[in-house]
Structure 1
Amino acid sequence: MMDNRGHVACAVVGITANRHLHDGVHRDWLRRRYIEALTKYASVECVILPTLDGDLPCDSTARTFREVMRRLDGLVLTGDESDLDPDILRKNERVWARAEDDIVPCKTDRPRDRLSWVALTVAGELQMPVLGICRGLQEMNVHRNGTLHEDLSLSHKGITHRENTNLPRDEQYLPVHSVKVAPGGLLSSVIESEELRVNSLHKQGVAEVGAGIRVEAVADDGVVEALSYRNSPTFQLALQWHPEWHASSDKTSQRIFRAFGSACDAYRTQRSAR
């Protein structure tokens, strides 16, 4: 069967950037692996969404982003080395204004936290397809008022969820533990498997699941490894692992990206018809 999507305008997705501060210079950055996997296997075009400093009130920023995201067909929340600050994403008593410690390398990235709150808020309003990866899963949970373990090594001793930094980068992203996939869920319908082997490169993890969230997969030590938003009219799925890194050789990762791409195509068709 020929894929004719190359002959028509394809879906466009927004991908969250991260903030990098080096030598006093602020940079928004994103690993190419996300774009490569999305372009090849989801068959979408990608635009990078910039991080936010918090100079404007969150509601004003959301209004601006709403106009941008009306032109998009999907949202991807990427991973990052920094820890999530739940106070940015909580719906109640949100802390938004810029602070001196907003960016601490490998620890804090509040400009990214602000971006993710706005992007998830608008994506929810627009009922847009969403794919969260690693940090993105944690953001999707906290955005629904879920909570996080700040350091899984202190609360879960069964599995080491952090990468082995002594290994070459490609090897850090190889599968290291199993996850059990919940039957009857979104992830199960996509991958058609009850168990997966996944990579694991995260310090934080889900503690309490947020409102309206379905757990899609768990590790043997109970850590939530995948979740979705219940009652969503479209594909809104998050994975604690990184499907993008070895997507070229992993059929399961390819299936996930294709399912997301198909949802973005369907959303684009509906959006064009409005």
Structure 2
Amino acid sequence: MKPVIGITCSANQTSQYLADDYIKAVRMAGGVPVLLPAGGEADIPLLLSKTDGILLSGGGDVDPSWFGEEPVPGLGEIEPGRDAFEIALCRFAIQADVPILAICRGIQILAVASGGDMFQDIYSQGKPPLLQHKQRAARSHLSHTVHVLPGSLLEKWAGSETMKVNSFHHQAVRTVKAPLMVSARAPDGIIEAVENRNARFMIGVQWHPEALAAIKDPVSLKIFSAFIASCKTV
């Protein structure tokens, strides 16, 4: 039976929505996508009982109050309701060992939900010189290199200790807490991927493999295939 994959949505004051590439990538890998709108935290246990895996999607900025900081000038638009829902969803999923694939904003939610923290704005808080992490090119363009940890799942999928990714962010994970570990960094030191090898599947990436899967990028296809395989029910 095909696994059901719950995908979180972007949100603003009047709408909740999701880029089609997430849906296409899940279907391409053999999953059945369902959208999880923000809100209704009390219903999260029920939602998790109906889904086999969680995809934390990209989107707007994360409220720094979740990791004990005041907002800096470079912080962008936040949606508090989405933050509250996704952090609660992530914590429930971690506790239940539900497979998690966390993309862009999602890797930041995963890190914060696990006790870590993040840069609100890498260009004012990070250590220069920094790369261009918000590329001015198509979403399918491979913008910059990342260095992959030897022995990590990413190295297994990439077949190399370096790979190229697309990039659309100004926030980033700053610190992670065990059992998460950093599995890739950009040449400027910005964290690009985390994983938990003790979980059924728990990977966070700062780039957008769903956009690269659309052009049949081999590593992106392997990420989604491995995620969906970990979610399969008997």
Report the TM-score, using the length of structure 1 for normalisation: 0.77
Q: Does 1:11 align with 2:8?
A: no
Structure 1 equivalent of residue 46 of structure 2: 67
Which residue, 23, 26, 29 being the options, matches 1:38?
26
The one-letter amino acid paired with 1:32 is D
Residue in 2 that maps onto 1:219: 186
The whole-number CA distance in structure 2 between the counterparts of 1:69 and 1:144 is: 18
**Partner residue in 2 for 1:100:** none
Q: CA deviation at 1:163?
A: 2.6
Q: Specify the alignment match of 2:166 in structure 1.
A: 199
Contact 1:152–1:161 (CA<8 Å) still a contact in 2?
Answer: no
Instruction: State the Cα distance separating 1:174 from its structure 2 match.
Output: 1.0
Identity of aligned residues (%): 33
The reply on whether 1:178 has 2:145 as its aligned counterpart is: yes
Q: Give me the whole-angstrom Cα distance separating, in 2, the residues matched to 1:48 and 1:179.
A: 30
CA drift at 1:114: 1.3
Of the two, which has the highest radius of gyration? 1
Q: Which runs of 5+ in 2 are unaligned?
A: 69-75
Q: Identify the range of structure 1 (112-121 vs 132-141) with the bigger mean alpha-carbon deviation.
A: 112-121
In structure 2, the residue matched to 1:85 is 63
Tell whether 2:230 aligns with 1:251: no
Aligned-residue Cα RMSD (Å) equals 1.7
1:241 to 198, 204, 207: 207
**SS at the partner of 1:79?**
coil
Q: Give the Cα separation in 2 of the matches to 1:259 and 1:230.
A: 13
Question: Would the alpha carbon gap of residues 146 and 116 (structure 1) be closer, same or farther in structure 2, given more than 3 Å must change?
Answer: same
2:133 corresponds to 1:161: yes
Normalising by structure 2, report the TM-score: 0.90
Unaligned runs of 5+ in 1: 1-8, 54-60, 94-105, 270-274
Tell me, in whole angstroms, the C-alpha distance in 2 between the residues paired with 1:109 and 1:186. 32
The Cα offsets for residues 210-264 of structure 1, whole Å up to 9 and x where unpaired, read as 33211111110111100012422x1110100001113132111111111111111
Q: What secondary structure is seen at the aligned counterpart in 1 of 2:133? A: coil
Q: What count of residue pairs does the alignment treat as equivalent? A: 224
Tell me: CA distance 1:210–1:85, structure 2 relative to 1, closer, same or farther (3 Å).
farther
Match of 2:110 in 1: 140
Measure the CA separation in 2 of the matches of 1:161 and 1:190: 23
The AA in structure 1 aligned to 2:230 is: A
SS at match of 1:108: coil
Supply the distance in 2 between the matched residues of 1:117 and 1:128 (Cα, whole angstroms): 14
